[in-house]
Each structure stands twice: as structure tokens, then as C-alpha cells.
Structure 1
Amino acid sequence: MTEAEIRALASTAAREAVKEVFSLMRVDPADIDSVVGFTDDLRYLRRQREAAEKISFKAVAAIFTTAVTGAGALVWLGLQDFFTR
């Protein structure tokens, strides 16, 4: 086989692989609206994932802040009780 034949075979195999992957995801690569819709869906999912990550970080920070504040309040009340007796 020549290099040109190998390149042509590889190109054909790559095209077929892409078609198969797109068909598994129910996207028609020949239909531009289908591809654009799929791309929009991926962008939306990325924004959702990033928003979920931000929310989970804020939730952990809120829980940590609540625990630290509660511990501080317990120490403060304990010290007040100790010195008022």
C-alpha cells in the first residue's frame, strides 16, 4: 500500500467512526440544524455543571460557617456561664 492509499483508508475510517458516534448520540451530521442543536445542548450542560459546582461550593461554605459560628457561640456561652458563677 502506498502512503496515499493509507491516508485515504484512514480518512474513510475516521469519517465512518464519526458517523457512528454521531448516530449513537442521535445526531445527523448531514443536518446542520441537528449538529447546531447538539452543540447548543452541550453548551447548556456545561453551564449547568458550572452552576452546580458553584452552588455546591457555596453550600459547603455555608455549612462550615454555620458549624464554626455554632462552636464559637458554645464557647462564648460556656465562658459567660463560667465567669458568672
Structure 2
Amino acid sequence: MTEAEIRALASAAAREAVKEVLAFMRVDPSDIDSVTGFSDDMRYVRRQREAAEKISFKAMLAFFSAAATGAAAILWLGLQDFFTR
């Protein structure tokens, strides 16, 4: 087998694999609207994932801030009680 034949065979196999993957995801590669819709859906999912990551970071920050504030308040009240006795 020559290198050109191997490249042609690999290219055909890659095209077929892409068609199978797209068919598995219910995307018709010959229909531009289907491909565009799939691409839009992937962009939307990415934006949702990024938004969820930002929200979870902010929620974790709020939780630890509340815990630190609570610990500081307990310490402050304990010190006040200690020094007023």
C-alpha cells in the first residue's frame, strides 16, 4: 500500500466516523440548519456551564464568608464576656 492510498483510506475512515458520531447525536451533516442548530446548542450549553461555575464559586465564597463572620462574632462576644466579668 502506498502512502497516498493509506491517506485516502484514513480520510474516508475519518469522514465515516464523523458521520456516525453526528448521526448518533441526531445531526444531519448534509443539512446546514441541523448543523447550525447543533452548534448553537453547544454554545448555549457552554454558556450555561460557565454561568454555573461562576454561581457555584460565588455561593462557596458566600458560605465561607458567613462562616468566618460567624466565627469572628463568636470570638468577639466571648472576649467581651471574658473581660466584663
Q: TM-score, normalised by structure 2?
A: 0.95
Shift in Å, 1:9: 1.1
Identity of aligned residues (%): 79
Give the residue type in structure 1 aligned to 2:69: T
Shift in Å, 1:4: 1.9
Alignment of 1:17 onto 2:17: yes
Shift in Å, 1:11: 1.2
In terms of mean alpha carbon deviation, does 5-14 or 17-26 score higher?
A: 5-14
How many angstroms apart in 1 are the aligned matches of 2:40 and 2:11?
27
Query: How many residues are paired up?
Result: 85
**1:75 equivalent in structure 2:** 75
Equivalence map 1:1-85=2 (5 Å): 1-85=1-85
Moved over 4 A (4+): none
1:14-49 Cα shifts (integer Å, max 9, x gaps): 111010000011100000000010000110011000
- Structure 1 residue matching 2:27: 3-state secondary structure: coil
Structure 2, gaps ≥5 residues long:
none
Structure 1, gaps ≥5 residues long:
none
How many angstroms apart in 1 are the aligned matches of 2:18 and 2:6?
18
Q: TM-score, normalised by structure 1?
A: 0.95
- Structure 2 residue matching 1:30: 3-state secondary structure: coil
How many angstroms apart in 2 are the aligned matches of 1:32 and 1:84?
77
